[in-house]
Chains A and B, each alone.
Chain A
Amino acid sequence: MKRRLGVVGLFLAMGLVFSFFAYAAEPIVIGVPTSTGFVEGKEGLAVVEMAVAEINAKGGVKVGSEKRMFTVEAIDIRDAAPGVPVPEALMGIEKLILEKKPTALLIGPFRSEALLAAMDIFTKYKVPMIGSIAMTPASEAKIKQEPDKYKYVFRTCLNAKYLVGYLVGTMSFLNKEFGFNKVYIMHQDVAWARGTAGGIVKSYFEKAGWTVVGQESYPTGASDFSSALMKARSGGAQVILPIFDMPQSGTLVKQWKSMKVPALLAGFISPLAGPGAWKTFDKKIGGAVNCNFEMGSAVASPKVPQSVEFLKAYQKKFGKPMEAGHGPAPTYESVYILKEAIERAGSLDPDALVAEIKKTDRTGVMGRIRFDDGQQAIFGNDPKETAVASVFQWTDKGERVNVYPEAIADAKIKLPAGLKVAK
């Protein structure tokens, strides 16, 4: 009898031990639906895994009285690829939510069109989503219009309005410093780039008395920019303002250099962000000024020490430097924002999480992060007060030097050979 009781007791004890481990090991699922076939999505997913590894190594996330680990479930929704319809991306998001039951989603859609359509899915399934690539301010307008319905959507990356602000700041600096007031605008023929170009013309160039020598839009995939460069030269443009996110846009810089156009190239060209651009573009990008969307995404500043550590850690973990100038830094911050919100809420209840994410006030790799009433991270010029982007210039030695905003600038913009000060 004693022996039988002993065996039963042993089984019960084993059951208890197993159920304890099974319960304790149940992880918190972070869903990552994004375009992993593009460098922003690919490196964004990599930094989610990096942040999760860091958090898990320190014991995980405290939910009430217990510690739980994070786990990552990703899906490639391919919305950045040409020709992929929005409904297909939405199906991917819904599949991830239904099959993996994530507590929250990070990164999210790449294209703004997909984000706007996906907002109703996040509401339907009550899943908080902290986005870090799509940039349309229209999502903030929807949140402001129906705050209760769309309360699950947050954004930690730069939005298009802030991008206009940084580019206007750069143009204003060029006007003050060098007297430049003639610009040629070249942009990709997609919604965000058209909007950004139009926004700068209306909010700055027209009011500040600049002459827009010409404005050219290019279909995605275009790779010959010779005509516009010739027009910029013959029109006497002192500044060429490019706004592109396609991989082929790096060719514009090479062509600008080889055609020796006497104008400063200053704007946003996505492939120019990372250190690899120097080699990729045959060391022909010296002098180009580029806006990096978030501090820490491929570009660091000693004035934001966390950004330096972040890029070092990335290189150490993955064996190569970060190349995406948009996405990774806010994505990394999103993981910690989620962790802190879970710990403050003490539960995984979506409404409780949303309430705590709203209260975010943390200083990290891109400065200080707080959300406005459109649930957009606030960007500005001082990393102690807001998140910051950085405008940097490629030197002729292949280094990137921060030149704007002043709080993080390490040097002043240098003019390329053949271009003289106009005042």
Chain B
Amino acid sequence: MLLGTIIYAVINSVILILMSIGFNLTFGISGISNFAYGALYILAAFVTWMLIQLVGLPYLASALISIFFTAFIGALMYRFILMRVRGQVLSEVIATFGIGLAILEFFRYLGFVGVEYALPVFIDESFMVGDVYVDAQRMLIVAAGIVLVILLWLFVHYTSTGLAFRGIAQDERTALTFGMDSDRIATLSVSLGAGLAAIAATVIIPLGTISVSQGYDVLINALAVSIIGGLGSTGGVIVASLLVGFAQRFTDTYIGSHWTMIVSLVAILLVLVIKPSGIYGKQKELEERI
């Protein structure tokens, strides 16, 4: 039982990392809280589903197209809406939340309701780890999470765009004096965040089905993990995901499943009391910067 709980806690933690890393990255670089994040996750899932079911493309091609499409939508969001309200926190929140609502309700309006909307698993197998059965899709999610975090780290440390991301995130005024285009970087960050939401959707959703209401759940999870870890900190997201992921699974096994919902809320409250900016947060510095 203990081994099983630990294995599924690791899987749960990686799912949380995948779900929240894009939201956190966008905030860290551009300072924008993208409340359309959950909707972009669902958009990517439905686009993948349509490409597979209606166009007949294979899964990998469909997933890649939907990731680029969602990233493009993210870029459009910034260029046509967010650029006009950037810096006005409340307007950013209202604008992104409104876009998210519009996307989700559009799918509901089109009739995307029911259980037939599901993505296929990559490998239909289960393996024994100790005395616990784990399916291949969950193992793949863990692998995808690890690879994604490594690639992101390499990207922001060894590419010129990644270094520009870090420059803007660390000190935007100084970065501007070096000729960095703040709006270009912000466009890329919203676009990359949206693309990461799409990657998460294409690897996580094969475990279940696609439903419009999931968009809100993904946003809440991303927000919870980002607040606990410290908004804008990738390391914080990883640590917070592990903390929340393990706490949820151990609560599930040893206390009761219905208590898992409040684990992240209790964690947020504790963090706000002990360290208001989150475990690795620099929220106050960011406020001063703006």
Contacts and interface: CB of A to CB of B under 8 A. Distances in A.
A39 B208 CA distance: 17
B114 interface: yes
B253 A39 contact: no
B260 A259 contact: no
Contacts of A222: 257, 260-261
Given A230-B4, A282-B121, A248 B260 contact: no
A271 interface: yes
A227 B5 contact: yes
B113 interface: yes
A259 B135 CA distance: 7
Given A276-B115, A280-B118, A218 B8 contact: no
A39 B114 contact: yes
A260 interface: yes
Identify whether the interface residues of B are mostly helix, strand, loop, or mixed. Answer: mixed
A223 B217 CA distance: 11
B124 interface: yes
Contacts of B126: 258-260
Interface string A252-286: 00110011100000000011001011011110100
Contact of A279 (B4, B116, B216): B116
A351 interface: no
Contacts of A323: 114-116
A251 interface: yes
Contacts of B132: 230, 259
Contacts of A260: 126, 133
A42 B113 contact: yes
B30 interface: no
A216 interface: yes
Contacts of A279: 116, 118
Given A227-B249, A234-B1, A38 B113 contact: yes
Interface in B50-70: none
Given A227-B8, A230-B253, A277 B115 contact: yes
Given A280-B116, A280-B118, A323-B114, A227 B257 contact: yes
B108 interface: yes
Residue among A39, A221, A258 having the largest count of chain B Cβ atoms under 10 Å: A258
B211 interface: yes
B213 A251 contact: no
B8 A282 contact: no
Contacts of B217: 221
B261 A219 contact: yes
B117 to A, nearest CB: 8
A223 B252 CA distance: 12
A282 B124 contact: yes
Given A231-B1, A250-B209, A224 B8 contact: yes
Nearest to B204: A223
A281 B114 contact: no
Contact of A259 (B133, B212, B252, B257): B133
A227 B257 CA distance: 8
Interface residues of A, number: 41
Contacts of B261: 219, 222
B259 to A, nearest CB: 9
A284 B260 CA distance: 27
A226 interface: yes
Interface in B98-144: 108, 111, 113-118, 120-121, 124, 126, 132-133, 135
B258 interface: yes
A132 to B, nearest CB: 18
Contacts of B252: 224, 227-228
A279 B258 CA distance: 29
Given A227-B8, A227-B253, A282-B121, A248 B208 contact: yes
A39 to B, nearest CB: 4
A319 B126 CA distance: 36
Interface string A268-312: 001100101101111010000000000000000000000000000
Interface string A220-249: 011110111011001000000000000110
Contact of B133 (A189, A258, A270): A258
B102 to A, nearest CB: 15
Contacts of B120: 282
B111 A248 contact: no
Interface of A: 37-39, 42, 81-82, 189, 216-219, 221-224, 226-228, 230-231, 234, 247-248, 250-251, 254-255, 258-260, 270-271, 274, 276-277, 279-282, 284, 323
Closest 7 CB pairs of A and B: A271-B115, A258-B135, A227-B252, A251-B208, A227-B253, A39-B114, A276-B116
Given A219-B258, A222-B257, A284-B124, 12 more contacts: A221-B214, A221-B217, A222-B261, A224-B252, A227-B5, A227-B252, A227-B253, A248-B209, A251-B207, A251-B208, A281-B118, A282-B124
23 contacts: A39-B113, A39-B115, A217-B256, A217-B257, A217-B258, A219-B257, A219-B260, A221-B217, A223-B207, A223-B208, A224-B12, A226-B249, A227-B4, A231-B1, A250-B115, A250-B209, A255-B135, A258-B135, A260-B126, A274-B115, A279-B118, A282-B118, A323-B114
